[in-house]
Structure 1
Amino acid sequence: MFWLHAALIYVSFLSGCRAEENVIQPTEDVMVVEGQPTTLSCLFDTADLSPYLFWYKQQTNSNPIFMLRRDMFSPGETATVFKERFDARLNFTAKSVPLTIQRVQLSDSAVYYCALRPTVTTGYTAPLQK
């Protein structure tokens, strides 16, 4: 067994901070048995009728890396390395976008971030998501 960490990241629109724009990750640490599936929760609150939600993975001593994006009007986008075992379904009514990991592996141990657009940037302000 090992731990996965879910972390909160607050992101506001570039036009300014709006109180109703946020994400909540109620599950902080998850203990998972290797080979089993797990789901990491992400709830969001936005006035935007077509929100974009993102998941990122950050391993120790590394920058967060883009995993996937989900929105209301398209199938979204998933980075190639995550297509096989990682998925998220945007539920606008429940205002959630849980991340499901199939057949959890030791290499999945990391901090997982859920974000509402605009997306995370590095310390050099280069976008991680185009």
Structure 2
Amino acid sequence: MGPWLSNLLILAACCYECRGEDSVIQPPGDVITTEGEQITLDCQFDADDTRNLYLFWYKHEVNGFPKFMLGRFSFGSKNATEFKDRFHAHLDADSKSVPLMIQRLQLSDSAWYYCALRPTVTTGYTASLQKLFVCVI
């Protein structure tokens, strides 16, 4: 097989897996509220296989790195230790949503919040599909 043909096959495989069949959708823009209030950050998803879902929320502070907050799965859930008390999410496979509720808002909650869906393809390019959500308090 010539080098051009193998490159074409690799390109075709990458394009096939990156079509975006599974995705998350978050409303654009900032959320502005006050300390002590409760907010819900929306996250809709589109996935072919709703029986085997893995959805995650991450918090990304200025000059920091994304921190895992919580995961919601078809078979259970997990919260990082620092996000157990005031942070809640419910995976609803029927409405294809996993909204994040933050109670008793604090100034330290100001950050970007990412909703991510684990890809179903396990070969080739498998970066999580995600979209930025900004929360300003």
TM-score with structure 2 setting the length: 0.72
Higher Cα radius of gyration? 2
Q: Which runs of 5+ in 2 are unaligned?
A: 1-15, 120-125, 129-137
Deviation at 1:120, TM superposition (A): 6.6
Q: Relative to structure 1, is the Cα distance of residues 57 and 120 closer, same or farther in structure 2, using a 3 angstrom cutoff? A: farther
Deviations 1:37-90 (A, max 9, x none): 00000000010221100000000011100000001221x100000001001000
Q: Which runs of 5+ in 1 are unaligned?
A: 1-14, 122-130
Task: Output aligned runs, 1:26-105, within 5 Å.
Answer: 26-49=27-50, 50-74=52-76, 76-105=77-106
Deviations 1:13-34 (A, max 9, x none): xx93243211000152111110
Give, as a single letter, the amino acid of the residue that structure 1 aligns with 2:94.
T
Q: How many residues align?
A: 106
1:21 corresponds to: 22
Question: Residues of 1 paired with 2:45 and 2:29: CA distance?
Answer: 16
Deviation at 1:91, TM superposition (A): 0.6
Question: Residues of 2 paired with 1:85 and 1:56: CA distance?
Answer: 14
TM-score with structure 1 setting the length: 0.75
Alignment check: 8 A CA contact 1:27 1:40 kept? no
- Aligned residues: percent identity? 57
